[in-house]
Amino acid sequence: MAASSAGMCTVVCNLNRQFAVHFPRTITQNICNNICSRSLWTSVPRYHSQPQIKKKSAVRELVGVVGLEIHAQINSSTKLFSGSQVGFSAPPNSQVSFFDASLPGTLPVLNRRCVEAAVMTGLALDCTINRKSLFDRKHYFYADLPAGYQITQQRVPIAEGGTLQYSHLIGHKQGQVVTKSVRIKQIQLEQDSGKSLHDENRSQTFIDLNRAGVGLMELVMEPDMQCGEEAAAAVRELQLILQTLGTCQGNMAEGQLRVDANVSVHRPGEPLGVRTEVKNINSARFLARAIDYEIERQMEVVGSGGTVLNETRAFDFKSGQTIPMRDKEGLQDYRFMPEPNLPPWWCTTVVLIDAVRERIPELPRATRARLVHAFGLRPEHSFTLVNEDGLTEYFESLANMTRAEPKKAIGWVIKDVLGLLNQQGRNVSQSPVSPRALAQLLDLLEDGRVSSSAAKTVFQELWKGSGRSPAQIVEEQDLGLVDDSTEIQRICQSVIDSHPEEVRAIRAGNRKVLNKLMGLVQKQTKGRADPVKVRAMLEEGTS
């Protein structure tokens, strides 16, 4: 099933779509000039505004429509409306204030940090920050919702009308970058609920209120996506943005970022189909799988003349399927009401918004563009750097310290440093080889003082963390290039003399055999001879 849904993704994605496919050079210019015109709006209105779909045969074909609702736990030391600490893996019910437990007579007090986080996130996503925002109560009975209502923002959220641009890599060796955008309908602040643990055997429920009242940003994305891979790419980009801003830690597995997908299918040009809501997704990879499964399922339902039910479905990662959830909420009337204990919250453009805007760091998209522009990196390399926390900084300090070309340095960073880090399950800050040491090594290479194969040996030595500099290692282990031309000449001559067959072949015009001889020479010099010199000498000796 997994395989077929992965296949489905491609099919779905390519239907009737004009991809903004940029080959590396194009994207370089595109991003550098900050031109967004090529990015693709895959919004629903697009179908209405472009009724003449090019491929006639495809007009009647179904496509998926995907919108996301994302709950991002605000990275704040205290809760949204109380002074309780926010922390994970604390003993149950140890981080619960009187307000969190909804003791009668307690009142909410808005946490400034949470507001600032939402404002910052809104600004980073090009949203309009509402000057005045309001809180509402959303009522429903559930054991882990102690007040019987959740304080949220139904009428006037903190931010509205933004855009998330995201890119993903496709094609041979992931060398093509596709940039798209999804509209952000709104960002609202709301309280998290507690957690219920059901003991089916004893038919008991245990309630842990540690999470109750933690601040959430709910980001609602318009149904501008068409398949799981797009949704996953959008979520990954959002994750990076939130982490860069520091407004959410963004770990999906720990529930800091929770994604629900609204999925429907329709024929382009026709109204949207009935949607289902897919929940219980705890990674970007599963998000893609869940959505693609659901699109395929709905296509089968519609294709066989059935109707899709408006329901909530859970993703079962073991089977890769979505299954209807027992309808605990049903079609509820939440009886929204203004929260009377919180006065309207006024956001002054002068003080708060501008102050927050100034604190917004460089966002991932800009970082990637800068890496491509300033260092001439390939876009996929810029993605790799930005995706790994601290790797961009590592690369930048390396590039600034070494005389080697950034294009050479990036190979070392990605293949050697990141490769080993991943292998050993470490993060960038734990790298035993500092950018400075690597820069010294690359300089030795650049200056022709070590060969590239010797450089790898030095790198291995550095990784062991002995504290010695690359130059010291080269000297101690005698890894420097053999400078003595007479010595190299002698070795070359002995190789030529002992391989008459090969020499004959070369003289007959088979130049490839020369490489074999080169290998033999390097073997004798332990890779320390300058290959250019060796090649020249061998050519001379075999001509």
Partner 1 sequence: MIADMLRLTIREVSRAFRQGRISPSELCQKCLDRIKKTKHLNAYITVTEELAARQAAAADERFRRGAPKGPLDGIPFAVKDNFCTENIETTCASNMLKGYRPPFSATVVQKLLDQGAVLLGKTNLDEFAMGSGSTDGAFGPVRNPWSYAAPYRDGSGAEPDSDWVITGGSSGGSAAAVASLSSFLALGSDTGGSTRNPAALCGLVSLKPTYGLLSRHGLIPLVNSMDVPGVMARSAQDVATALGVLQGRDVLDSTTVCPPVEHSDLLEDIDVSRLHVGIPKEYHAPGLSRETLAQWGRVADMLERAGARVETMSLPHTQYSIVCYHVLCCAEVASNMARFDGLQYGHRSAVDSSTDALYAATRLEGFNEVVRGRILSGNYFLLKRSYLRYFVKAQQVRRLIARDFAQVFRSGVHLLLTPTTLGHAPTHAHFIQEDNRTRSSQEDVFTQSVNMAGLPAVTVPTALSGRGLPIGLQLIGAALQDRRLLAVAGWLEREVAFPGIQLPWDTEEEDGERAERGQTAL
Contact residue for partner 1 among 6, 58, 110, 170 (CB under 8 A): 110
Q: Which stretch binds partner 1 (CB under 8 A): 8-16, 94-102, 456-464, 504-512?
A: 94-102
Exposure string of 99-116, with b = 16+ CB inside 10 Å and e = fewer, is bbbbeeebebebbebbbb
* Spatial distance between the Cα atoms of 469 and 480, rounded to a whole number of angstroms: 14
Among residues 26, 102, 154, 457, the one that binds partner 1 under rule CB under 8 A:
102
Q: Which helix (H) or strand (E) holds 267?
A: none
- Is 137 a binding residue for partner 1 by CB under 8 A? The answer is yes
Instruction: Report, in Å, the least distance between residue 116 CB and partner 1.
Output: 17
* 499 DSSP 8-state letter: -
* Residue 199 contacts residue 205 (beta carbons within 8 Å): yes
Site for partner 1 contains 336 (CB under 8 A): yes
Nearest Cα residue to 118 out of 219, 192, 194: 219
Give, in order, the Cα–Cα distances in Å from 66 to each of 128, 234, 293.
23, 11, 12
- Residues 531/482, Cβ–Cβ less than 8 Å: no
Question: CB of 367: closest distance to partner 1 in angstroms?
Answer: 39
CA angle 135, 138, 141 (to 5 degrees): 145
Minimum CB distance to partner 1 smaller for 136 or for 461 = 136
Q: Which of 199, 200, 333, 358 binds partner 1 (CB under 8 A)?
A: 333
Using CB under 8 A, which of 16, 26, 106, 163 touches partner 1? 106
Give the residue, chosen from 47, 149, 383, 459, that forms a contact with partner 1 under the rule CB under 8 A. Answer: 149
- Regarding 85 and contact with partner 1 (CB under 8 A), the answer is no
Question: Which of 51, 91, 305, 340 is close enough to bind partner 1 by CB under 8 A?
Answer: 340
| Residue 341 beta carbon to partner 1: minimum distance, rounded to whole angstroms | 5
Residue closer to partner 1, measured from CB, 213 or 320: 213
Choose, by CB under 8 A, the member of 29, 50, 319, 341 that binds partner 1: 341
Instruction: Provide the token pair at 515.
Output: 């490489």
Tell me the window of 26-34, 135-143, 215-223, 422-430 that interacts with partner 1 (CB under 8 A): 135-143
How far is the C-alpha of 102 from the C-alpha of 503, rounded, in Å?
A: 90
Q: Site mask, partner 1, residues 204-233, x = CB under 8 A?
A: -x-x--------------------------
Residue 388's φ and ψ, nearest 5 degrees, are -105, 120
Applying CB under 8 A, the site for partner 1 has a residue count of 29
Please, which residues bridge with residue 217 across strands? 72, 189
Closest CA to 528 of 494, 490, 480, 466: 480
* Residue 344 binds to partner 1 (criterion: CB under 8 A): no
Among 2, 32, 36, 107, binds partner 1 (CB under 8 A): 107
Burial class (CB in 10 A: 0-12, 13-18, 19+), 271: exposed
Shortest distance in whole angstroms from residue 334 CB to partner 1: 8
Compute, in degrees rounded to 10, the torsion defined by CA atoms 150, 151, 155, 161: -100
- Which residues here bind partner 1, judged by CB under 8 A? 98, 101-110, 137, 139, 141, 143, 146-149, 205, 207, 333, 335-337, 340-343
